[in-house]
Structures are given as C-alpha cells and as structure tokens.
C-alpha cells in the first residue's frame, strides 16, 4: 500500500443544482450523504487505523470496525461514513457518544450500539494507490470487493464485474472471511 495516514479525504461539495451528465470528463456520480462521521479505514498486515476526516484516530472508540479491518484478507484503504443506527434510523447523537468512549466502555458500547462503516470508495490496495484512477474504476473495484465477499454487507446490491477490467486487490484466498463476521 502506498498511502500513509493521515490522508485528507475528498469532501462533498454543496451545489444549488445538479450538473449535467457530461459536465465532467468521465461523467458525474452522486452518492447519498448519511448522517455520520467521515472516516478512512487503513487495514494491512501491520495493523488497522480508523481515521477521522481531520486525521485523528477513531480506532479505540470503534473496536468493532477495527476488528472488521483486521479480518480483511487483503490490504485496503477504504473511504466511508461511520454511522450508528437506532430504532431503524441513523442516530448522530449516539454516534457522538460512541466516539467519546475508549477501552472497556468502547467494547461494551460496540455490543449495545454497534457502529457501521458505509464504504463508498477504495483509495489503496496491495497493488498501490488508486487516487489517480477514475471514480468509475474505483467504484467497480468496490462492487467487486463486495461481490467476492472481501467486504460484506447485507444491504449491498453489487453488480457483476465488467469483463476486461483487471483485478486490483492482490491475491484473495478462496473462502476469505468477510469483514462483517469479525464482529460477530
């Protein structure tokens, strides 16, 4: 992996109207903005770091996310939104409370009010940084990681990998443990 924390994530930009589909080379993509904390997950053989958008470590506050990162079968840097759900809705207040806990308090909170990382981009793999790759290629790789079981999410609807695009995940062992099982 090439990226070394802290890394400044690409941030959303508010617009008064949607740009036309051909406004940018390669097209335009839109993502929903969940009510959470922007976070980058660095996971490799040396360890795991959950980094806030400001570069601070959130790892100790979210041990279930760290455990999922340690269970990944390949090195990855993932960009996403850290959220906590309560009664079927995202609850930013509970996320803020979770972020202040460490040690035993964080481990107990992880069981009572588990956090989730909604991943929307892949920034780095064992093959190197992807920041200069087109978003559609990074998004295709993300969908491939879900389809192959490297990343797991019950609500994900991944599309099949387009033919002719090279794999960028290093060697994935057959039957690799999906990250969601790490916190079970």
Torsion of CA 59, 62, 158, 146, to 10 degrees: 60
Distance CA(144)–CA(76), nearest Å, equals: 13
Please identify every residue annotated as catalytic.
33
Pair of tokens at residue 65: 């996310």
- C-alpha dist (Å) from residue 20 to 13, 29, 109: 16, 11, 44
* 8 A C-beta contact, residue 49 and residue 42: yes
* 8 A C-beta contact, residue 26 and residue 135: yes
């Amino acid at each position: 992996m090439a990226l070394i924390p802290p890394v400044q994530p690409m941030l959303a930009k508010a617009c008064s109207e949607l740009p036309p589909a051909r406004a940018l080379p390669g097209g335009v993509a839109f993502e929903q903005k969940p009510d959470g904390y922007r976070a980058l997950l660095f996971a490799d053989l040396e360890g795991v770091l959950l980094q806030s958008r400001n570069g601070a470590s959130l790892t100790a506050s979210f041990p279930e996310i760290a455990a999922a990162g340690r269970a990944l079968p390949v090195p990855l840097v993932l960009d996403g939104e850290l959220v906590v759900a309560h009664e079927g809705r995202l609850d930013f207040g509970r996320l803020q409370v979770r972020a202040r806990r460490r040690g035993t308090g964080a481990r107990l909170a992880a069981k009572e009010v588990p956090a989730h990382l909604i991943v929307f981009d892949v920034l780095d793999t064992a093959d190197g940084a992807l920041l200069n790759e087109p978003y559609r290629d990074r998004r295709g790789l993300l969908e491939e990681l879900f389809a192959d079981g490297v990343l797991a999410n019950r609500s994900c609807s991944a599309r099949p990998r387009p033919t002719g695009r090279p794999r960028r995940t290093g060697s994935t062992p057959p039957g690799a443990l999906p990250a969601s099982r790490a916190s079970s």
